[in-house]
């Protein structure tokens, strides 16, 4: 009997561990009841929002290093039973080799928008760049950018088309947001969070081993976190990266506005209107206002003293304006009535004017 390598089982095992399939057991795989439906893009315990494919991969990486346990029978799509013998092609979402229509999909068929597996004829709802969509069972061929992977193991092995890189182009802040969906992490083809300078960072897709890049992306050698370089699919225009999936995630990245005065950081987020502009402040020359105007992490620093005047009914004396607690304060001598003391008390440029210096009464 042919033994199936452990790596090929990580997808269903990882899904079972995350509770993403309809039913799980302590054995090798899971059953996907036709009446229950399976949601491979179901929420993973977050407070809100749809499933995040990156989190699926984090769980898969946790499983990858564990002892696979007893060997199990090898099964390929050609040898595996696709569903129950009593099920028809319609029960399976059409023929296992039917095409996926992502532009005008029929209800329940591959490419149709779904919330759970119950919305799909195949019973499988998976994350994709278009959002969570119904997929189809498969024997070998899948749409470009999709891979035929086992998604259920008991009572029969079921293979379905799974998007290999639904997160490519996603605004990101770390690599964990970019790991590709089920199966790709196992194959080591995860994406990286690639910096695009002040525009922000966006998920790529490894393209040295798998040269496929979606439309609007180019396979390029790019700098990667940690000081390395690698080939990643990168967006040709970052303003056009917000897919329905990223809008649902409210995916965001850090960005910056930079000029001669400094560099201020902000964020930009995928919205229904596309990628928002960077909300960072524009750096300006530091002034006394209790703010970090030039975004260097300091407030009201190194402000030069400027001339000012303290004025009252006696006159006007020149002082120096200093910044105190975000407020400019004029410090200096207060004008006063002139007295015979050898001082220009009223700051008019004259000393002891009107005094009887010789004591003659005049």
State which residues of the chain have pLDDT below 50.
Answer: 1-36, 41-94, 182-188
Q: What's the rounded Cα separation, in Å, for the pair 88 and 122? A: 11
Contacts of 27 (CB under 8 A, 6+ apart): 153, 154
Contacts of 114 (CB under 8 A, 6+ apart): 39, 120, 125, 132, 133, 134
Q: How many CA atoms lie within 13 A of 128 on its CB side?
A: 25
Q: How many CA atoms lie within 13 A of 356 on its CB side?
A: 4
Q: What is the pLDDT of residue 81?
A: 39
Q: What is the pLDDT of residue 341?
A: 87
Q: What is the pLDDT of residue 358?
A: 59
Q: What is the pLDDT of residue 134?
A: 93
Q: What's the rounded Cα separation, in Å, for the pair 320 and 306? A: 6
Give pairs for 313-321: CB < 8 Å, separation 24+.
314/338, 314/345, 314/346, 315/346, 315/347, 315/348, 316/347, 317/347, 318/347
Note whether 17 and 66 are within 8 A (CB): no
pTM: 0.63
Per the listing, tokens 């498969």 go with: 138
271: its two tokens: 């919205």
Note whether 337 and 345 are within 8 A (CB): yes
């Amino acid at each position: 009997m042919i033994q199936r390598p452990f790596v090929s089982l990580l997808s269903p095992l990882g899904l079972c561990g995350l509770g993403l399939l309809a039913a799980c057991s302590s054995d090798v795989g899971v059953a996907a009841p036709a009446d229950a439906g399976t949601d491979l893009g179901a929420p993973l315990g977050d407070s809100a929002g749809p499933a995040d494919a990156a989190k699926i991969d984090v769980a898969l990486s946790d499983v990858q290093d564990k002892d696979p346990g007893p060997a199990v029978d090898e099964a390929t799509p050609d040898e595996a039973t696709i569903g129950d013998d009593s099920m028809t092609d319609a029960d399976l979402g059409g023929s296992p080799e039917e095409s996926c229509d992502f532009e005008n999909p029929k209800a329940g068929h591959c490419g149709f928008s779904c919330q759970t597996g119950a919305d799909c004829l195949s019973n499988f709802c998976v994350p994709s760049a278009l959002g969570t969509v119904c997929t189809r069972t498969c024997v070998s061929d899948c749409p470009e950018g999709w891979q035929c992977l086992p998604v259920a193991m008991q009572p029969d092995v079921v293979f379905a088309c799974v998007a290999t890189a639904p997160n490519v182009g996603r605004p990101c802040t770390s690599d964990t947001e970019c790991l590709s969906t089920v199966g790709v992490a196992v194959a080591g083809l995860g994406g990286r969070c690639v910096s695009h300078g002040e525009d922000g960072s966006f998920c790529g897709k490894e393209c040295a081993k798998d040269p496929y890049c979606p439309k609007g992306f180019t396979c390029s050698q790019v700098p990667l976190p940690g000081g390395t370089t690698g080939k990643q699919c990168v967006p040709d225009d970052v303003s056009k990266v917000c897919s329905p999936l990223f809008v649902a995630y409210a995916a965001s990245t850090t960005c910056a506005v930079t000029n001669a005065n400094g560099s201020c950081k902000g964020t930009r987020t995928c919205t229904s209107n596309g990628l928002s502009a960077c909300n960072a402040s524009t750096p300006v020359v530091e002034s006394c206002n209790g703010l970090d105007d030039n975004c260097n992490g300091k407030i009201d620093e190194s402000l030069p003293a400027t001339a000012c005047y303290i004025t009252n009914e006696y006159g006007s004396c020149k002082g120096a304006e200093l910044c105190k607690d975000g407020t400019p304060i004029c410090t200096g001598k207060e004008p006063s009535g002139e007295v015979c003391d050898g001082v220009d008390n009223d700051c008019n440029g004259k000393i002891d004017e009107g005094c009887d210096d010789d004591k003659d009464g005049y």
